[in-house]
Amino acid sequence: MTRPQTARTVGRWVRTVTLVVGVPSLLIAAWFAARDVREVDPATWWALVPALVLSTASLWMQARSWRVLLPHGTDPTAADDAFFTSQLVKYSPVGGFAQAAAQAGLAVDGTTGAARATTAMAVSKLTMVVAAGCAGPVLAATNPTLAPWLRVLLCCTPAALALGHPAVLRSSLTLAGRVLRRQLDPAVLPDPGAVWRSIGWAVPAQALAGASFAVLAVVTDPGVDPVQAAAGFVVAWAVGFLVIPVPAGLGIREAVIAVLVEGPPGTKLVAAVMLRLVVIAAEALLAAAVRVRAARRPTDRNGAGPTEPPEAPVGPTG
């Protein structure tokens, strides 16, 4: 069996497990979110539409941030499939661990080996955190009620941009490998240009995610500063993401928003609950769209797509 054939076989198994675990988890999370939203004033439901548009655009940019880290020649549909399908499993009890494993596993093909896919996945998560760090000074400037030490700390978060330097990134991946208990091969580290392009996509992706929350926050409480709400959400996202074992940062993000954003805790919680439903809907729509697109592609007799790249040489490329 050739390497591309082995990759396709492994990919089918990973996809099957991801869907079997992810779809029920997503449906359960959606049911709880919808139940909570039904208790919200129906006059605010219209805001779910622009929030959905912003969240969908944010997720699309996140997928681009991941795709630019993969080797040249990687099938874009396969890369999108890996990203969006893996999002479904993050609502399972094992949370971020399962999502990261599924994303890397689904990306393996004849061009992208397991080592490169795993490393690209880890780098894509780091670039999203780096992008979130850019919101720190904005939050510090717009919320004077925060403790002085916290405002100073928030002003320092753009220092995360140092991760764009290869040496710093390599050290960070080594540390991440120890936390994940999986060695990340520095030999397959994306080139610096790809890393900065990934950050370039991640920054607007985070801004759109924050804007989605801000729309809902302003609708539930017109006194909320939309810029502060957007920046506070992005910082809270980073904190929730770093608590990897928690499914999709459930509860963590909302608690951090309550601390970082001014306003009554109840209205911020309402906006966070509404956003949870919006994000679930956006992820489900994009996962379904990419599966439909993949299913419509013509295949040859061996089940490979007509534009599938040739088998990559075995070596340090993973």
Query: What pLDDT does residue 89 have?
Result: 73
Band the pLDDT of 14: cuts 50, 70, 90. Answer: low
Res 56: pLDDT? 96
Residue 304 has pLDDT above 50, yes or no: no
Residue 281 has pLDDT above 50, yes or no: yes
Please check the confidence at residue 317 and state whether its pLDDT lies above 50.
Answer: no
Count other C-beta atoms under 10 Å from residue 94's C-beta. Answer: 16
Q: What pLDDT is stored for residue 156 in this prediction? A: 94
All structural domains of the chain with their residue ranges: 3-294
* Higher-confidence position of 159 and 74: 159
Q: Write down the pLDDT at residue 54.
A: 97
- Does the model's pTM come out above 0.75? yes
Q: Is the pLDDT of residue 36 over 90?
A: no
Question: Quick one: pLDDT at residue 147?
Answer: 93
The answer to whether residue 38 scores a pLDDT higher than 80 is no
Contact 270, 278 (CB under 8 A): no
pLDDT (0 to 100) of residue 98? 63
Q: At 246, which amino acid appears?
A: V
Q: What value does the mean pLDDT of the chain take?
A: 78
Rounded to 10 deg, the angle between the 192-220 and 226-242 helix axes is: 120
pLDDT for 118: 77
Read off the pLDDT band of 106 (50, 70, 90).
Answer: low
Identify the DSSP state of 310: P
- Rounded Cα–Cα distance for residues 278 and 257 (Å): 17
pLDDT recorded at residue 84: 83
DSSP string of 256-306?
HHHHHS-S-HHHHHHHHHHHHHHHHHHHHHHHHHHHHHHHHS---TTS--T
26, 250 Cβ separation under 8 angstroms: no
Q: What is the pLDDT of residue 226?
A: 95
pLDDT digits over 107-120, tens only?
A: 666 556 667 777 78
For the ranges 11-20, 51-60, 87-96, 262-271, the maximum mean pLDDT occurs at 51-60
Model confidence at 303: pLDDT above 50: no
Predicted local distance difference test score (pLDDT) of residue 32: 66
Quick one: pLDDT at residue 218?
Answer: 92
Lowest pLDDT segment from 161-170, 257-266, 271-280: 161-170
CA distance 314 to 110: 10
Question: What pLDDT, on the 0 to 100 scale, is given for residue 92?
Answer: 64
Written as one letter, the residue type at 218 is V
Question: Between these two residues, 291 and 312, which has the higher pLDDT value?
Answer: 291
